[in-house]
Amino acid sequence: MNTAPSAHGRHAVVIVGGGAAGIELATRLGRRRDLDVVLVDRDASHFWKPRLHELAAGLLGDGEEAVPYLAHAQAHGYRYEPGALKRVDTVERRIDLDQVVLPMTDELILPPRSLRYDTLVLAFGSRVNDFGTPGVLQYCDMLDSPAQAIALRRKILALALRSAGDPERRIRIGIVGAGATGVELAAELHHAFNDMHRYGGLDPASKLDITLMDMAKRILPAVDPRTSESAHRALVGMGVNVRAGVGVDAVTASAFHLSDGSTVPCDIRVWAAGVVGHDMVAGLGPFTLSKDRRIIVTPQLAAVGVDHVYAIGDCAFAAAAHGGPSVPPTAQAAHQQASYLARALPRALRGETVEPFVYHAKGTLVSLGEFHATGELPSVPKGKSPIPMRGWIAKMLYVSLQYMHRATLHGWPRATALWLADWLRNTTLPPVKLH
């Protein structure tokens, strides 16, 4: 295996993971002529994870939100290297990548290889936490990637087709995890089934039996109780059965078995309960890990006890300022960490003092369908109750987050053109994908 030198003597920054944190950092650093920036990812394109529930519900088509790394890298001054991370050699400052094969085959595209770095940034995200619950990995769908979301969408469509026209057959979907992902998926499924009925002649959402389960005593437990209650009322109004304060003891091919002794029969079972570090992190290198297998970082987001390595996004465990809880594994936090490191890293390389990262909670917004969302914004001054946001105004703010992410990746002119393309597509094609 060969170790490539830095291009033209520039400082080599290798970023592993092209999620919200990794691709935003690569976009910002790629503009600098003093850095040779390389983005590594096992997939060929970037997808913004907060929209995975829309892809699963059929409200987004394959590739509609995908950003091809090769094209984006060419446009923004960095390089893309495909491959899965296998090992980090912190002594030689080298990462080892697995071979790349043609999807669905064993045909070799690229052999195992190594990349040298001067600075390494780990941003490879996390996975859904199954908490060791029996049957989860065998019988549940998850929403960690576009491939998983597309697989779930196809199952849902197949179930809708099998049930069409049969008044006795219900469509039973169980969702474990009443955080933002679970709540949004339940709401979007209701929206999608009504669109399937309108545009495809399939059964409407009245045929749906969605059960949303969580160990917490209320849905959206991390937000203000008023926001939680608003979302609860909206889901109940859609016919969603909310089961709060109950855990899952086991999952079988046909049901969730709950801690109170009850059983929830399901045709489709979705697990969206929390996040944990990837399994491979334990053997990746000499990193200090949290209990949930995330890399513990310093206030400057450097990996604890390891030189020249940073970690951002969901794979990083960063303590919040002033002794508060850790920075949450959210797209909002990933964006802030990428913005911080894009400023801090060049300063650190020049030997300047770098102030610690400070996470600023900007509030929470949860989509509840086509024209409705609920959430809250931070109070001014701090310490007061958050400012509630409801209805179409909250939905507009929610959608604006997607456009801000696009603007970060492409600039406002192209982001505006993409918005126009979305509008034209929605006026000419069914809003739900029936394939």
What pLDDT sits at residue 144?
A: 92
> Does 122 share its domain with 159?
no
Q: Is the pLDDT of residue 268 over 50?
A: yes
Mean of pLDDT values over 312-318: 95
What pLDDT sits at residue 414?
A: 92
| Dist CA 29 CA 38 (whole Å) | 10
Q: DSSP 3-state assignment of 250?
A: strand
| Dist CA 223 CA 213 (whole Å) | 17
Using alpha carbons, list the distances in angstroms from residue 111 to 48, 97, 98, 101, 386: 29, 9, 7, 9, 52
- Of 273, 289, 307, the position where a domain reaches its end is 273
CATH label of the domain that carries residue 228? 3.50.50.60
Q: DSSP 3-state assignment of 148?
A: helix
**Who contacts 160 (Cβ-Cβ below 8 Å, separation ≥6)?**
171, 193, 196, 202, 203
Pairing of strands 94-97, 113-116: antiparallel
> Does 72 share its domain with 163?
no
Q: Is the pLDDT of residue 198 over 70?
A: yes
**Who contacts 404 (Cβ-Cβ below 8 Å, separation ≥6)?**
none
Give the count of alpha carbons within 13 A of 294, CB side only.
27
Alpha helices in 177-294 (DSSP H): 180-200, 225-237
> Does 71 share its domain with 180?
no
For 358-370, what is each residue's pLDDT tens digit? 998 889 999 998 8
> Does 201 share its domain with 230?
yes
For 166-186, what is each residue's pLDDT tens digit? 888 999 999 999 999 999 999
What pLDDT sits at residue 1?
A: 35
What pLDDT sits at residue 323?
A: 60
Mean of pLDDT values over 304-328: 87
Residue 393 covered by a domain: no
What pLDDT sits at residue 123?
A: 97
What is the reported pTM?
A: 0.92
Q: Point out the least confidently predicted range of 135-139, 417-421, 431-435.
A: 431-435
Alpha helices in 104-224 (DSSP H): 136-139, 146-163, 180-200
Q: Is the pLDDT of residue 413 over 70?
A: yes
| Dist CA 307 CA 388 (whole Å) | 43
> Does 134 share its domain with 263?
yes
Using alpha carbons, list the distances in angstroms from residue 212 to 39, 223, 242, 330, 404: 37, 17, 5, 21, 30
- Of 273, 299, 325, the position where a domain reaches its end is 273
| Dist CA 50 CA 52 (whole Å) | 6
Give how many domains the chain has, as a whole number: 2
Shortest CA distance to 160 belongs to which of 94, 93, 207? 207
Mean of pLDDT values over 293-304: 96
Q: What is the mean pLDDT of the chain?
A: 92
Mean of pLDDT values over 129-151: 95
How far separated are the first and last CA of the chain, in Å rounded?
A: 43
Pairing of strands 85-89, 94-97: antiparallel
What pLDDT sits at residue 2?
A: 39
> Does 98 share its domain with 166?
no
| Pair 30, 41: CB distance under 8 Å | no
> Does 163 share its domain with 122?
no
pLDDT band at 62 (very low <50, low <70, confident <90, very high): confident
Q: By residue range, what is the domain housing residue 252?
A: 130-273
> Does 111 share its domain with 11?
yes
Shortest CA distance to 249 belongs to which of 140, 137, 139, 134? 134
| Pair 13, 117: CB distance under 8 Å | yes
Mean of pLDDT values over 405-415: 93
Highest mean pLDDT out of 55-64, 244-253, 378-387? 244-253
> Does 168 share its domain with 296?
no
> Does 29 share its domain with 112?
yes
Residues in the chain: 435
What pLDDT sits at residue 6?
A: 53
What φ, ψ does residue 27 adopt, rounded to 5°? -60, -45
| Dist CA 69 CA 73 (whole Å) | 6
- Of 331, 349, 367, the position where a domain reaches its end is 349
Report the percent of the chain where pLDDT is more than 90. 82
Q: Is the pLDDT of residue 383 over 80?
A: no
> Does 302 share its domain with 212?
no
